[in-house]
Amino acid sequence: MSELPAAEVADRLAIQHLIARYADLIDGQDFDRLDELFTPDATIDFATFNGPVGDLAEIKAFLKSSLPFFERTQHMMGLPHITVDGDEAHARTSCTNPMISKKPDGSTSVWLIGLWYDDDLVRTADGWRFRARRQIRSYTLTGLTDTPLGAT
């Protein structure tokens, strides 16, 4: 691979930061701040896990109603493959996401979800933003338990 121009390196780092911020906001359940990451006309597709396909308002409502079921989540984002073409870009990023909930008896249940995020991005006056984000299912493991080793 030939050396990348400095501007493209900066674009790729900005896009990686955007992807990382998404994971932080989701895991922190700070859904209203997702507006900072998406264009106003963005489309988001969570259908692969039986979620909605819609605009950011619909997705935020879905996240606010579904994610509080989990005590903890941890979106571990892989290194994205990013292609930049002027003011547009595409990224494909793997994600491993353990999600922990309490059972009625007080024990924990862990779901381990593997997926890909396929993103279309656009450069705006405020920096790079998601224009389209789609989840693609890789696997779902259920029936796991969290052990009380160390602090939580």
Please list the ranges in the chain whose pLDDT falls under 50: none
Residue 69 token pair: 């079921």
Q: Give how many domains the chain has, as a whole number.
A: 1
Does the reported pTM lie above 0.85?
yes
Q: What is the CATH number of the domain that holds 121?
A: 3.10.450.50
The Cα 11–Cα 99 span in angstroms is: 31
For residue 152, the model assigns a pLDDT of 56
- Residue 36, domain member (yes or no): yes
The Cα 152–Cα 140 span in angstroms is: 23
What does each C-alpha distance from 103 to 57, 70, 71, 107, 132 come to in angstroms?
30, 10, 11, 5, 35
- Residue 120, domain member (yes or no): yes
Domain residue limits at 26: 6-144
Q: Are strands 88-102 and 81-85 parallel, antiparallel or unpaired?
A: antiparallel
